[in-house]
């Protein structure tokens, strides 16, 4: 069931330094840019914490239903201003459910909040004050609630082609206010981002929110993305370069994987190793237990999370 609420938060007009008028609304050619960049050191420390606290992924055939809250941040009530219609949100949830078919994870849209803030619509990007302020005001739910924010990425990430960014399960405990996924509103299904308007930016960012790294994490060496059945990859693939091969060995690059950087139409799926990792990650760090009767069963989040040792 979908409860839709319209909530308009009128923020006091921010002090304008004229910057918005210097922004040329030029047609930026987007390459997939994801704001999730993690050092090998951070991966190593997160993986140590995961392996020492890891809970298994429960029944491999079972499905967890995860609640989704949308926060639509818009400059005004036009589509160009980021005021995405409910039909596009529904289409996006449908894409998410389709793309996660077979992983044991499904998505239940429970609410939509609409916020008018030109400052946030334009300024939100990884680690900006606008992003922190937005999440501190809007984030809702607990460790198992997926908060999705849409914004314009105008000021800080427009030219760089940023499409989205996300937090990881391992960081929930230390920064729960920050938890969630932010995407450029034009990436929703039917949006205006060329090659990135089938909704797969959200599929990719939610993969991070469930504990997946990029397929090219760590390059050709070592444990790469910490999943055994994804082929290693030296660097992000753009477009849809069939037969690309950047690492030694027999395997071609995983260009059809949702966790690479290819065009939406090039992306096909997750591997079963990624599905297992996602379920183990959210059981360990988000307290989501998956039962075969398809019910969403939450362990006490506090109990689950307090058993997750710090480094």
Binders of ligand NAG in range 79-98 (CB under 6 A): 80-81
* Cα Rg of the chain (Å, integer): 19
What is the distance between the alpha carbons of residues 131 and 136, in angstroms, rounded to a whole number?
9
What is the distance between the alpha carbons of residues 238 and 116, in angstroms, rounded to a whole number?
34
Tell me which residue has its CB nearest to ligand NAG: 81
Under rule CB under 6 A, residue 167 binds ligand NAG: no
Under rule CB under 6 A, residue 111 binds ligand NAG: yes
In angstroms, the Cα distances linking 94 to 203, 209, 229, 256, 276 are 11, 18, 27, 20, 22
Q: Which of 205, 233, 234, 311 is catalytic?
A: 205
CB of 59 to ligand NAG, least distance (A): 5
Under rule CB under 6 A, residue 293 binds ligand NAG: no
Residues 34-73: x where in contact with Zn ion by CB under 5 A, - otherwise, as a string: x-x-------------------------------------
> What, of ligand NAG, Zn ion, none, does residue 59 touch, CB below 5 to 8 Å by kind?
ligand NAG
What is the distance between the alpha carbons of residues 198 and 204, in angstroms, rounded to a whole number?
12
> What, of ligand NAG, Zn ion, none, does residue 92 touch, CB below 5 to 8 Å by kind?
none
- Look at phi and psi of residue 69 and say left if phi exceeds 0, alpha if psi is from -120 to 50, else beta: beta
By the 8 A CB rule, do 57 and 276 touch? yes
What is the distance between the alpha carbons of residues 196 and 206, in angstroms, rounded to a whole number?
15
What is the distance between the alpha carbons of residues 40 and 45, in angstroms, rounded to a whole number?
9
- Interface residue with ligand NAG among 63, 144, 155, 230 (CB under 6 A) is 144
Under rule CB under 6 A, residue 29 binds ligand NAG: no
CB of 225 to ligand NAG, least distance (A): 25
Residues 53-82: x where in contact with ligand NAG by CB under 6 A, - otherwise, as a string: ------xxx-----x-------xx-x-xx-
Please indicate whether residue 205 is annotated as part of the active site: yes
- Look at phi and psi of residue 169 and say left if phi exceeds 0, alpha if psi is from -120 to 50, else beta: alpha
H-helix or E-strand containing 98? Answer: helix 86-99
By the 8 A CB rule, do 209 and 166 touch? yes
Size of the residue set binding ligand NAG (CB under 6 A): 22
Nearer to ligand NAG, 138 or 247 (CB): 138
Report the interface residues with Zn ion, using CB under 5 A.
34, 36
Report the interface residues with ligand NAG, using CB under 6 A.
3, 5, 7, 59-61, 67, 75-76, 78, 80-81, 110-111, 113, 141-142, 144-145, 298, 300-301
């Amino acid at each position: 069931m979908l409860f839709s609420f319209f909530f308009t938060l009128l923020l006091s007009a921010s002090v304008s330094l004229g910057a918005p008028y210097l922004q040329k609304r030029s047609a930026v050619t987007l390459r997939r840019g994801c704001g999730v960049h993690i050092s090998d050191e951070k991966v190593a420390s997160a993986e140590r914490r995961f392996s020492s606290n890891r809970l298994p992924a429960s029944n491999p055939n079972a499905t967890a239903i995860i609640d989704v809250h949308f926060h639509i941040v818009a400059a005004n009530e036009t589509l160009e201003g980021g005021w995405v219609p409910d039909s596009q949100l529904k289409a996006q949830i449908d894409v998410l459910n389709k793309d996660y078919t077979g992983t044991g994870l499904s998505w239940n849209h429970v609410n939509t909040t609409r916020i008018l803030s030109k400052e946030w619509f334009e300024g939100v990007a990884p680690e900006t004050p606008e992003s922190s302020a937005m999440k501190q005001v809007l984030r809702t739910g607990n460790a198992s609630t997926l908060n999705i924010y849409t914004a314009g990425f105008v000021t800080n990430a427009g030219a760089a082609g940023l499409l989205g960014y996300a937090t990881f399960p391992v960081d929930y405990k230390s920064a729960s206010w920050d938890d969630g996924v932010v995407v450029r509103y034009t990436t929703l299904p039917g949006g205006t981002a060329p090659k990135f308007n089938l909704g797969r930016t959200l599929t990719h960012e939610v993969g991070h929110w469930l504990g997946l790294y990029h397929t090219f994490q760590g390059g050709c060496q070592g444990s790469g993305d910490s999943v055994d059945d994804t082929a290693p990859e030296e660097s992000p693939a753009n477009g849809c370069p069939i037969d690309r091969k950047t690492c030694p060995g027999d395997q071609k690059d995983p260009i059809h994987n949702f966790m690479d950087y290819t065009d939406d139409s090039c992306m096909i799926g997750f591997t079963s190793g990624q599905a297992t990792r996602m379920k183990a990650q959210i059981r360990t760090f988000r307290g989501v237990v998956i039962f075969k009767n398809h019910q969403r069963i939450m362990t006490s989040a506090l109990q689950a999370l307090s058993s997750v040792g710090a480094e």
